[in-house]
Amino acid sequence: MKLSLIFDNNYYKNNKCKVDERKRRSKTKQFLNGCLSQRIDQISQSLLKTNGEYAQADHKRKILYQNVHCLISGDTDLEITGGDRMDIKEYIEQVAIMASIEKHALYRQGYMDCVKVLNLMCIL
């Protein structure tokens, strides 16, 4: 009987440690996701200020969004005119332009941040 009680206590302790580890990992993951989201927002804001093509695409995207929002959201019956199709096509093109610019900027910034971290760790 005592052996089974010890086993049960060890089982409880081991599972408690696993639960604590999962909670810690979850909090760490949430923290890192928050940091990355904040960093991506900073890079996007920087692109708006420093990259004319990105700023222009964002401006066009916002204007086009107003035109296609009712089609996207499903607030009205779906009747797409030729002008609506052109707006949707151009909206998607502007989003693609922005995504391409962001992808390049994020990769470049990620590389530079990685080098900084490696320098701080005295690896480079």
CB atoms within 10 A of CB 98: 22
Instruction: Classify residue 121 by its DSSP letter.
Output: T
Q: Express each pLDDT in 21-56 by its tens digit.
A: 777 778 888 887 888 888 889 999 999 999 999 999
Instruction: Classify residue 74 by its DSSP letter.
Output: T
Find out whether 54 and 47 touch, Cβ atoms under 8 Å: yes
pLDDT band at 124 (very low <50, low <70, confident <90, very high): confident
Nearest residue to 84 (alpha-carbon basis) of 58, 98, 63, 64: 64
Q: Express each pLDDT in 64-84 by its tens digit.
A: 988 887 776 665 666 777 788
Find out whether 47 and 66 touch, Cβ atoms under 8 Å: no
pLDDT at 49: 95
Global pTM exceeds 0.75: no
Rounded to an integer, what distance in angstroms lies between the CA atom of residue 1 and that of residue 92?
69
Handedness of CA 12, 13, 19, 22 (dihedral sign): negative
